[in-house]
Amino acid sequence: MKTIHHKDIYSFIKQSLKKVGVNKYSCEAVAHGLCFTSLRGVDSHGINLLPHYLLSALNGRKNCNPKFKFKKIFPALSLLEADNAFGHAACLKAINYSIKIAKKYGIAAVAVKNSSHCGALATFTLEAARNGYVAIGFTHADALVVPPNGIKPLLGTNPISFAFPRKKKSPICLDMSTSSISWNKLLSMDKKQSISPYIASDALGNSTTKQKEARGLFPLGGKDFSYKGFCLGVIVELFCSVLTGMKFGNELLPMYNTKYKPRKLGQFFILLRSDISMKNKDYMNYIEKFSRNVYSKKSKSNNGIKLPGDPEEEILKKRMKNGIPIQPKFISSLNEIEKKYSLKFNLKI
């Protein structure tokens, strides 16, 4: 498989978005988010989404030149009107604003409204953690997850992300959907590949092992404990729809929708200073002690015990050196857009 250096694809994404009218800030936010996510091995939410984002811009779903407006509801709690911006741009705005507020008050929360698909949440929680803040992030999506004892999808995959800063290593970072897998990951699978049971559901809400039969996803927890994943998804939905005033679950437009109307999604971020019970340097020493304790335990193989974010960090190091894989479908999609809209993106690989 062909690969491309992360700096080259970052530049390519910026130039491609600029060509379809996206402003500088949004170009940089999206390019960073997609490249960083692919570097971490999360290909379902990385550079492969560029063709979809280009079409969203060309067809008016996403606002290429949004006017962001923060409304301070309380000293440490604010609402961001994202003006149908790219989700990456809106969420990065929310994080940078939250850092300033949390520095002053110790805590900051920002509810984001009228946003769009933001890719991988880790992009934003890790940004906060690299600046020394503990970060929590939520986003919702259109209905893809079938509730326990249900037939049709009711909630989105509704991801959650947490990040804790460390001094000598990358932050401890959890980023996961509250379904067994994301819908994009399901779509990226080989259609001939068999899916594990209780990952995807068919039209009747039953488990299917065939991608072509999949009409929804199951919550985390498998056959007997999916209520746990479903309940987590409900909490994310409340943060992202009820607290932001956005629509929820089966009211939201699908991500892959040919009508290209704005999806008006919500996100929610909470940032905390780490010096709550001790000085920051003591916190850094303590979390380092915690990390060493985990890594020192015996494991069943030479791979050792991993903390959240460690596998992604290992992939990042490899791809920084060897490049990001380029899927044939990615190139084909770009070619189709070039032909349809008389554009020339000049991807050199």
Residue at 282 is within a domain: no
What is the β-pairing status of strands 107-115 and 216-217? unpaired
pTM score over 0.75: yes
Q: Which of 80-94, 246-260, 308-322 has the lowest mean pLDDT?
A: 246-260
Say if 221 falls within a structural domain.
Answer: yes
Percentage of residues of the chain with pLDDT beyond 90: 91
Kindly report, residue by residue over 150-165, the tens digit of the pLDDT: 999 999 999 999 999 9
- Give the pLDDT of residue 124: 98
Residue 285 domain-assigned? no
Q: Is residue 190 pLDDT above 80, yes or no? A: no
- Nearest partner of 264 among 68, 115, 60, 79, judged by Cα: 115
Task: Write down the pLDDT at residue 270.
Answer: 98
Q: Tell me whether strands 160-164 and 172-176 are parallel, antiparallel or unpaired.
A: antiparallel
pLDDT at 302: 87
- Look at residue 79 and tell me if it is in a domain: yes
The span from the CA of 218 to the CA of 233, in Å, is 11
With respect to residue 238, please indicate whether it lies within any of the assigned structural domains.
yes
Arithmetic mean of pLDDT, 284-295: 97
Predicted pLDDT of residue 13? 97
In the chain, the percentage of residues whose pLDDT exceeds 70 is 100
Domain count, the chain: 1
- Amino acid 126: pLDDT: 98
pLDDT level of residue 183 (50, 70, 90 thresholds): confident
Is 162 a member of any domain? yes
Reported as a pLDDT band with limits 50, 70 and 90, residue 34 is: very high
Q: Read off the pLDDT of residues 47-65 as tens digits, 9 standing for 90 and up.
A: 999 999 999 999 999 999 9
Minimum mean pLDDT among 119-128, 160-169, 170-179, 252-261: which range?
252-261
Confidence (pLDDT) at 54: 97
**What confidence category does residue 348 fall into, taking pLDDT thresholds of 50, 70 and 90?**
confident
Count Cβ atoms below 10 Å from residue 306 Cβ, excluding itself: 14
- Domain of residue 153 covers 3-276+309-341
Provide mean pLDDT across the span 262-286: 97
Q: What is the pLDDT of residues 109-167, one digit of tens each?
A: 999 999 999 999 999 999 999 999 999 999 999 999 999 999 999 999 999 999 999 99
User: What's the pLDDT score for residue 234?
Assistant: 98
pLDDT at 128: 98
Residue 293 lies in a domain: no
> pLDDT per residue over 193-222, tens digit each?
888 999 999 999 999 999 889 999 999 998
Helix (H) or strand (E) run with residue 108 in it: strand 107-115
CATH classification of the domain holding 38: 3.30.1370.60
Tokens standing for residue 205: 């809400």
What does the alpha-carbon distance between residue 94 and residue 112 come to, in Å, rounded to a whole number?
7
Strands 107-115, 77-81: pairing kind: parallel
pLDDT, residue 186, reads 87
Q: What is the DSSP string of 257-312?
A: -TT-----EEEEEEEEES-SSS-HHHHHHHHHHHHHHHHTS--SSTT----TTHHH
**Residue 101 structure tokens:** 């507020």
Alpha-carbon distance of 119 to 348, in angstroms, equals: 24
Task: Please check the confidence at residue 185 and state whether its pLDDT lies above 90.
Answer: no
pLDDT at 261 over 90: yes
Confidence of residue 342 (pLDDT cuts 50, 70, 90): very high
95 in a domain, yes or no?
A: yes
Residue 339 pLDDT = 95
